[in-house]
């Protein structure tokens, strides 16, 4: 046991000695290890450095990969949209639309007086409800040479009878040269701005007094043909010359129906015998843009044709119209805007043939001027003033007495396809017992089917 212990002691002594020697000599004999500690430190920094470098490289590579992936994605997106363009189709089919105009209102005068005050065929001319106009409109391209259109209207008259009218049915040419275009069929005569306009485009619920007087309840329209020429001027200048049948209830002032009376003159039967018995019309329309936001139209129109108060009697009508519209550079759905529309018309009517004791020349003139203000998105306020007069003594004649009318209205367009309109009319008419009449009318419009494209 002791031996073991002493041996261990000797071993420890020897180990201690050896270790001491090693400690002394090693630094001398192994110079490489002298700097071991500092060497490890620098190695560590080196590794750290390289690791950092690798990390940087990795980041660069990752970024590059991202870029390549992005590029590839972009390329894929590109090829996806460029490879096979989809033909989305364009509609060349029949465009069908149906619009309905309804009114309800009350006036301070009774229905008989109201019929005289509101002589337009689409006017709300009775206390209570009126179906003003239900219009079916169909249009399309016929072939490379023609476009065609038909408008069929449905009304319910004062007796509750349904009336169907072929309001318009015409074709226009597509491919004539030199700025020419021919229109033929049954159509509204292009006289002034308002006459050819369909009721759903009117800014007021009723038509101006002077138009009802000169063109009757339904507006001036008939069968015929016209040529229009877009003149090679620096501004827009269009000349329209046409000939239409002068006979029929939609050609008032000309060969109107038998047994009617105008200013006490009985109208008789008179048919067109030759070319000169047609109704001739001319219109010269000019338009300029003062700026992107302001446009101005100015037109002159004229009509000449036979009338049925005699065998050789003639009627001529002249008119001037102006339309100015402003809307600012930034406008939402066409709002806000201000527009001003004025027309003046004058008729010279030869009543009875030359040599007839009863012969006289009747002149009727009048104008309307209306201002529309789209003051707020979908809201329009309107104000219209009218004045109409005639020569001679017509105190009791509701078609020729002196009349003035002031109308104010407010329109709310609920969407592109419906609107509500409230209108107040103040009438001054010589033939009325009370001299004045007040009316309040609420109008509603809907429009179904294809979007209708409208001229300015």
Partner 1 sequence: MRFTTKTLIFVFFFGFGAAHSAIRIVATTQDLASIAQSIGGEKIEVQSLTSGTRDPHFAEAKPSMIRKVFKADLLLLVGADMEIGWLPALLQSGRNSDVQVGGSGHLDLSNSVRLLDKPQGAIDRSMGDVHTKGNPHYWLDPRNGINMSKAIAERLSELDPENKQFYQSQQIVFENKLNQKFKEWRNLLSPLRGQSVIAYHKSLIYLADAFEFNIVGEVEPKPGIAPSAGQLNHLVDLIRKENVSLLIMEPYYEKRSSEYLSKQTKINVAVLPQSVKSMPNIENYFDLFDGIVLSLKKAGGF
* Residue ranges in 263-292 that form contacts with partner 1 under rule CB under 8 A: 285, 287-289, 292
C-alpha closest to that of 224 among 206, 240, 202: 240
Residue closer to partner 1, measured from CB, 136 or 176: 176
Binder of partner 1 out of 108, 141, 342, 356 (CB under 8 A): 141
Give CB contacts under 8 A, 24+ apart, made by 92-96.
92/140, 92/141, 93/140, 94/138, 94/139, 94/140, 95/138, 95/139, 95/140, 95/449, 95/450, 96/136, 96/137, 96/138, 96/449, 96/450
Distance CA 122, CA 130 (A): 9
Binder of partner 1 out of 30, 50, 56, 81 (CB under 8 A): 81
* Residue ranges in 287-346 that form contacts with partner 1 under rule CB under 8 A: 287-289, 292, 295, 297, 325, 327, 329-334
State the residue for tokens 């597509």: 174
238 makes contact with partner 1 (CB under 8 A):
yes
Q: Which stretch binds partner 1 (CB under 8 A): 176-184, 216-224, 347-355, 430-438?
A: 176-184
Q: Which stretch binds partner 1 (CB under 8 A): 123-131, 304-312, 382-390, 413-421?
A: 413-421
Binder of partner 1 out of 6, 32, 92, 112 (CB under 8 A): 92
- The site string for partner 1 over 372-401 (x = CB under 8 A, - otherwise) reads -----xx-----------------------
Alpha carbon separation from 362 to 214, 291, 431 (Å, rounded): 12, 43, 18
Taking the complex as a whole, how short is the minimal distance between the CB of residue 341 and partner 1, in angstroms? 14
Distance CA 39, CA 31 (A): 12
8 A C-beta contact, residue 397 and residue 213: no
Residue closer to partner 1, measured from CB, 13 or 71: 71
The secondary structure element, H or E, covering residue 65 is helix 36-82
Residue closer to partner 1, measured from CB, 175 or 396: 175
Distance CA 392, CA 394 (A): 6
Let me know how long the chain is: 456
User: How many residues touch partner 1 (CB under 8 A)?
Assistant: 58
Binder of partner 1 out of 416, 434, 435, 438 (CB under 8 A): 416
C-alpha closest to that of 347 among 448, 220, 453, 239: 220
Chain residues that interact with partner 1, rule: CB under 8 A: 70-71, 74, 77-78, 80-82, 85-90, 92, 141, 144, 147, 172-176, 179-181, 230, 232, 235-236, 238, 285, 287-289, 292, 295, 297, 325, 327, 329-334, 377-378, 415-417, 450-456
């Amino acid at each position: 046991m002791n031996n073991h212990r002493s041996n261990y002691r000797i071993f420890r002594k020897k180990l201690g000695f050896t270790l001491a020697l090693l400690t002394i000599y090693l630094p001398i004999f192994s110079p490489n290890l002298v700097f071991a500690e500092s060497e490890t430190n620098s190695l560590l920094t080196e590794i750290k450095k390289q690791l950092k470098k690798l990390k940087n490289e990795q980041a660069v590579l990752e970024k590059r990969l991202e870029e390549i992936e992005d590029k590839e994605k972009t390329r894929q997106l590109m090829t996806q949209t460029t490879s096979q363009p989809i033909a989305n189709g364009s509609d060349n089919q029949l465009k069908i639309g149906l619009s309905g105009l309804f009114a309800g209102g009350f006036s301070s005068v009774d229905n008989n007086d109201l019929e005289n005050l509101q002589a337009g065929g689409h006017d709300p001319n009775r206390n209570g409800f009126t179906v003003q106009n239900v219009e079916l409109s169909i249009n399309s391209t016929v072939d490379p040479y023609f476009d065609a259109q038909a408008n069929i209207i449905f009304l319910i008259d004062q007796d509750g009878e349904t009336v169907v009218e072929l309001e318009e049915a015409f074709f226009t040419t597509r491919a004539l040269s030199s700025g020419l275009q021919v229109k033929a069929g049954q159509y509204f005569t292009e006289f002034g701005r308002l006459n050819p306009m369909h009721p759903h485009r009117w800014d007021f619920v009723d038509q101006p007094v002077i138009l009802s007087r000169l063109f009757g309840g339904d507006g001036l329209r008939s069968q015929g043909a016209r040529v229009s020429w877009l003149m090679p001027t620096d501004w827009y200048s269009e000349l329209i010359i046409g000939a239409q049948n002068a006979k029929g209830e939609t050609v008032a002032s000309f060969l109107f129906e038998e047994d009617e009376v105008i200013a006490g003159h009985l109208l008789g039967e008179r048919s067109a015998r030759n070319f000169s018995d047609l109704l001739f019309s001319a219109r010269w329309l000019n338009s300029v843009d003062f700026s992107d936001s302001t446009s101005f139209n100015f037109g002159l129109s004229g009509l000449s044709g036979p009338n049925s108060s005699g065998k050789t009697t003639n009627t001529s009508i002249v008119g001037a119209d102006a339309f100015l519209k402003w809307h600012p550079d930034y406008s939402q759905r066409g709002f806000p805007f201000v527009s001003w529309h004025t027309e003046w018309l004058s008729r010279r009517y030869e009543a009875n043939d030359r040599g007839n004791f009863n012969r006289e020349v009747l002149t009727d003139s009048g104008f309307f001027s209306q201002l529309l203000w789209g003051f707020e998105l979908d809201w329009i306020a309107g104000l219209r003033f009218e004045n109409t007069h005639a020569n001679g003594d017509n105190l009791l004649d509701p078609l020729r007495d002196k009349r003035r009318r002031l109308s104010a209205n407010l329109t709310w367009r609920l969407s592109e396809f419906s609107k509500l309109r409230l209108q107040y009319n103040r009438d001054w008419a010589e033939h009325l017992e009370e001299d004045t009449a007040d009316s309040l009318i609420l109008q509603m419009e809907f429009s179904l089917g294809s979007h209708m494209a409208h001229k300015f």
